[in-house]
Amino acid sequence: MAETLFSKIIRGEIPCDKVYEDDTSLAFRDINPQGPTHILVIPKAEIEDVSQVEEGSGLMDHQIAVANQIAKDEGIAEEGYRLVINKGANGGQSVDHLHVHLIGGRQLTWPPG
């Protein structure tokens, strides 16, 4: 996998507004938020996109559990929030490192665009 912005953030070479970190995941506020709360949850492992997640790895279970806990911590769990995973250019993926968008804090519209 090619070096990405997220690789540098994981290594601490680029600062981020961190909201969560454990041995396998990092979560931080998006620099271009699409809602009052917009947090990215990323695996520390170099995984380019969701199509590379191995069945049974538990990776996505953990990413979603982290996002759900952050939603509670941010006070948006009761009203609702959206989890988004983009894949590839046509899917809107702008950084080639798997990431889950946690977006909330306002009424979200559908379809997303």
pTM for this predicted structure: 0.95
Catalytic residue chosen out of the listed positions 38, 62, 97, 99: 99
- Domain span at residue 96 reads 5-104
CATH of the domain at 88: 3.30.428.10
Active site residue 101: no
With cut-offs at 50, 70 and 90, classify the pLDDT of residue 2: confident
Question: How many domains, the chain?
Answer: 1
Render pLDDT for 7-51 as a digit per residue (tens, 0 to 9): 999 999 999 999 999 999 999 999 999 999 999 999 999 999 999
Contact, 37 vs 74, CB < 8 A?
A: yes
Closest C-alpha to 37, from 9, 8, 78:
78
Task: Evaluate whether residue 112 is within a structural domain.
Answer: no
**Class of residue 41 by CB neighbours under 10 A (exposed 0-12, middle 13-18, buried 19+):** buried
- Residue 112: how many other CB atoms lie within 10 Å: 10
Render pLDDT for 74-113 as a digit per residue (tens, 0 to 9): 999 999 999 999 999 999 999 999 999 999 999 999 988 6
Task: Evaluate whether residue 98 is within a structural domain.
Answer: yes
